[in-house]
Structure 1
Amino acid sequence: MLKTISEFHNDWGDAVWQAVLETLQMVGIALFISVLIGLPLGILLVLTRPGKNLENKYIYGLLNILINVVRSIPFIILLFFILPFTKLVVGTTMGVAGVMVPLVVYTAPYIARLMENSLLEVDKGVLEAYEAMGIKSKDIIWNVMIREASPSIVLGLTIATIGLIGATAMAGLVGAGGLGDLGYRYGHLRYVEEVMYVTVFLLILLVQGIQTLGNVVARTLKKD
Structure 2
Amino acid sequence: MEQLFALFESGKFLEATFQTLLYVLVAMGLGGGIGLILGVCLTVTRQGGILPSPPTYWVLNFLVNFFRPIPFVLLIFALQPLARAVIGTGIGDPMAMFALAFAASFGIARLVEQNLLTVSPGVIEAARAMGAGPLRTILTVLIPEGLGPLVLGYTFAFIAVVDMTAMAGIIGGGGLGNFAMQYGFRQFNPWVTWSAVLLIIVIVQLVQVLGNAIARKLLRR
- Range into which the TM-score falls when normalised by the shorter chain: over 0.9
Which deviates further from its counterpart, 148-157 or 185-194? 185-194
1:22 aligns with 2:19: yes
Q: Which residue of 1 aligns with 2:153?
A: 156
Normalising by structure 2, report the TM-score.
0.94
**Residues matched between the structures, number:** 220
Q: Which residue of 1 aligns with 2:198?
A: 201
**What is the 5 A alignment of 1:116-155?**
116-155=113-152
Which deviates further from its counterpart, 76-85 or 89-98? 89-98
Q: What is the aligned counterpart of 2:70 among 57, 69, 73? A: 73
Q: What is the aligned counterpart of 1:165 among 162, 165, 176? A: 162
Q: What is the aligned counterpart of 1:176 among 156, 173, 178? A: 173
Aligned partner of 1:20: which letter?
A: T
**What is the 5 A alignment of 1:78-97?**
78-97=75-94
What is the rounded CA distance, in whole Å, between the counterparts of 1:156 and 1:135 in structure 2? 27
Q: Which residue of 2 aligns with 1:9?
A: 5
Aligned partner of 2:78: which letter?
A: F
Contact 2:68-2:106 within 8 A present in 1 as well: yes
What is the rounded CA distance, in whole Å, between the counterparts of 1:77 and 1:184 in structure 2? 19
Q: What are structure 1's unaligned runs of at least 5 residues? A: none
Q: Which residue of 2 aligns with 1:52?
A: 49
Q: Which residue of 2 aligns with 1:34?
A: 31
Aligned partner of 2:106: which letter?
A: P
CA RMSD of aligned residues (A): 1.5
Q: What SS does the aligned partner of 1:186 have?
A: helix
Query: CA offset at residue 159 of structure 1?
Result: 0.4
Query: CA offset at residue 53 of structure 1?
Result: 3.2
Percent identity at matched positions? 38
Q: What SS does the aligned partner of 2:146 have?
A: helix
1:186 aligns with 2:183: yes
Give per-residue Cα distances to partners, 1:144-184, cap 9 Å, x unaligned.
11111111000000000000000111222222101011111
Which deviates further from its counterpart, 130-139 or 88-97? 88-97
Q: Which residue of 2 aligns with 1:220?
A: 217
Q: What SS does the aligned partner of 1:54 have?
A: coil
Aligned partner of 2:4: which letter?
A: F
What is the rounded CA distance, in whole Å, between the counterparts of 1:190 and 1:112 in structure 2? 40
**What is the 5 A alignment of 1:95-114?**
95-114=92-111
What is the rounded CA distance, in whole Å, between the counterparts of 1:223 and 1:176 in structure 2? 42
What is the rounded CA distance, in whole Å, between the counterparts of 1:43 and 1:152 in structure 2? 14
What is the rounded CA distance, in whole Å, between the counterparts of 2:57 and 2:63 in structure 1? 10
Which deviates further from its counterpart, 82-91 or 175-184? 82-91
